[in-house]
C-alpha cells in the first residue's frame, strides 16, 4: 500500500513530539530498543583523579624513553604537575632543566611516563 505525503500521520519533531508523547502517557523511545533495562553503572572503586607522586620543587632524573620529547636523559626541577588521571600513562610536567654542571637551564614542558616517577 502506497501513501502520499498528505495521507501519512503527521508527527512534530524533537522535544515538542516527546512532550506530547509524555502527556499522552507514552514514554518516548530513544536509541536502540533491547527489551531489557539498562545495565547499572558500577560505583568507581577508586577516584578518577589522583594526587601526583611528585610536586613543585622536586628534582627528577628521566631517561630518554621516559619523557617526550628530547634526546638523552633529562634532569628537571619540577615547577608544576598537571592533574593526573588514575589510568594515565603520561602526565604533563613543567620545570627547569638542570644542566650537567648543576646550573639551571631552559624552562621545559614535557610529558613524563607515570611509571618512571618515584613512588
pTM reported for the whole predicted model: 0.55
Q: Hey, where are the domains in the chain? A: 49-116
Residues 14 and 8 sit within 8 Å (Cβ to Cβ): no
Consecutive 10-residue runs of the chain (119 residues): their mean pLDDT? Answer: 57 58 59 56 54 84 92 94 80 94 95 86
Q: How many CB atoms lie within 10 A of CB 90?
A: 18
> Per DSSP, what are the bridge partners of residue 49?
85
Please state, in angstroms and as integers, the Cα–Cα distance from residue 41 to each residue in 1, 38, 44, 45, following that order: 45, 9, 9, 12
pLDDT number for residue 73: 95
Q: Note whether 66 and 118 are within 8 A (CB).
A: no
- Cα R_g (the chain), whole angstroms: 28
Q: Is the distance from CB of 59 to CB of 98 less than 8 angstroms?
A: yes
Amino acid at each position: 500500500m502506497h501513501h502520499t505525503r498528505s495521507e501519512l500521520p503527521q508527527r512534530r519533531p524533537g522535544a515538542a513530539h516527546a512532550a506530547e508523547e509524555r502527556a499522552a502517557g507514552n514514554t518516548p523511545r530513544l536509541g536502540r530498543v533491547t527489551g531489557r533495562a539498562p545495565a547499572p553503572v558500577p560505583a568507581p572503586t577508586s577516584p578518577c583523579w589522583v594526587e601526583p607522586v611528585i610536586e613543585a620543587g622536586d628534582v627528577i632524573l628521566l631517561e630518554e624513553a621516559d619523557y617526550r620529547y628530547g634526546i638523552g636523559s633529562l634532569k628537571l626541577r619540577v615547577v608544576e604537575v598537571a592533574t593526573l588521571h588514575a589510568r594515565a600513562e603520561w602526565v604533563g610536567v613543567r620545570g627547569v632543566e638542570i644542566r650537567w654542571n648543576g646550573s639551571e637551564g631552559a624552562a621545559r614542558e614535557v610529558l613524563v611516563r607515570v611509571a618512571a616517577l618515584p613512588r
